[in-house]
Amino acid sequence: MVKKNILDFSYDELIEEFKNIKLQKFRVDQVLDWIFKKHVFDFFEMTNLSKSQRELLDEHFYIYIPEPIDIQESKKDGTTKFLWKLEDGKTIESVLLFYPNRVSSCISTQVGCALKCKFCSTGASGFERNLSAGEIVAQVLAIEKLKDVNINNIVLMGMGEPLLNYDNVLKAIRNWNNKKMKNLGARRITISTAGIADKIEELANFDMDIRLSVSLHAPNNYIRDQIMPINAKYPIEEVIQSCKIYQEKTKNRVTIEYIAIKGLNDEEKHAEELAELLKGLKVMVNIIPVNPNPAGYERPSKRFLTNFVNKLKELGIEATLRVEKGTDIDAACGQLKLRKKGIKLK
């Protein structure tokens, strides 16, 4: 008999699975309480189930939590990056971040990334496969247990393009939101996309009020083509139109991510063009100075960054310069990557 990873199932699916092995619905609630609230990942430690019930569960299911093979902690702000080994030996990274009002995690949705954005280390390392819903959910469980924290904000902004793993990502979000599981409010979950326009429009019909972040990084197709190959399939006008459709249906503000690159997209004229492009959208623009990257792009000066933000504000666009975290451990935007070797934890 092939065992099934219990984290790959939705709540309703688990009820059916348990029914098939003659376990009542309330046993699902008990098991999920152990997993999500107590962080117990071994059926035999679930003491409010009988020995025979635990044996039955162990016969049919397992709880797969990725193996930590490297953990790096920032000396500046406590940001922690985790390198995980999956069942098939492939590796992914995720990040724990601390803010005054929240404990956040940056979670991966794919092993690598197929988009090959020029400023991003993840894309440079290639794409291997999608993560299952259980592998996405398990990253949060593993971090919470290892660091003894309660994560109350999740951003799907790690390795991979979430909207190219659409079904598994939405299933993971439903499980985080489910009261019997993580019980995390939908508004505390963010999907970050490089602009898969048709999926943004599809997401507008999703029945949960999650947040959307769109990586634009340029005010026009000429510049975006140079740094984001995906722009050939989804040009900037299509991305903006999909955001308008999304906003019309959800009434939610969209976050626009904009990586500033010295001499490429950081001048006042670019801010003016960006403001014109975003006209009619309710947005918050996050300006992010580019991090060390495979293409060797350099970050603008603080003066250029400040001028860019101020020009957007002057033109009626909400904008902010992102507070940087984890740059000293390569855990910031665009710095997560596939690694074949890690330091095994003792």
243 is in an annotated binding site: no
Which H/E stretch holds residue 180? none
CA distance 99 to 171: 27
216 is in an annotated binding site: yes
Task: Please list, residue by residue across 165-195, b when 16 or more beta carbons sit within 10 angstroms of its beta carbon and e when fewer do.
Answer: bbebbbbbbbbbbbebbbebeeebbbbbbbb
Class of residue 20 by CB neighbours under 10 A (exposed 0-12, middle 13-18, buried 19+): exposed
CB contact at 8 A, 93 and 84: yes
Residue 176's nearest CA partner among 167, 186, 166, 168 is 186
Cross-strand partners of 97: 104
105 is in an annotated binding site: no
| DSSP-derived secondary structure letter, 41 | -
Q: Report the phi/psi class of residue 190: left, alpha or beta, with left for phi > 0 and alpha for psi in -120 to 50.
A: beta
215 is in an annotated binding site: yes
Which H/E stretch holds residue 214? strand 211-215
Query: Which amino acid is residue 318, in one-letter code?
Result: E
Task: Please list, residue by residue across 219-236, b when 16 or more beta carbons sit within 10 angstroms of its beta carbon and e when fewer do.
Answer: bbeebbeebbbbbeebbb
192 is in an annotated binding site: yes
One DSSP character per residue, 111-170 reads EE-SS--TT-HHHHT-EEEEPPHHHHHHHHHHHHHHHT----EEEE-SSS-GGGSHHHHH
Q: Examine the residue annotation and report whether 237 is marked as an active-site residue of this protein.
A: no
231 is in an annotated binding site: no
160 is in an annotated binding site: yes
Q: Considering 93, 135, 144, 257, which one is annotated as catalytic?
A: 93
Q: Examine the residue annotation and report whether 243 is marked as an active-site residue of this protein.
A: no
273 is in an annotated binding site: no
Helix (H, G, I), strand (E, B) or coil at 68: strand
Q: Considering 106, 243, 257, 333, which one is annotated as catalytic?
A: 333
120 is in an annotated binding site: yes
Helices (H), 178-220: 197-203
Binding-site positions for S-adenosyl-L-methionine read 160-161, 192, 215-217, 291
Binding-site positions read 113, 117, 120, 160-161, 192, 215-217, 291
Binding-site positions for [4Fe-4S] cluster read 113, 117, 120
Catalytic residues: 93, 333
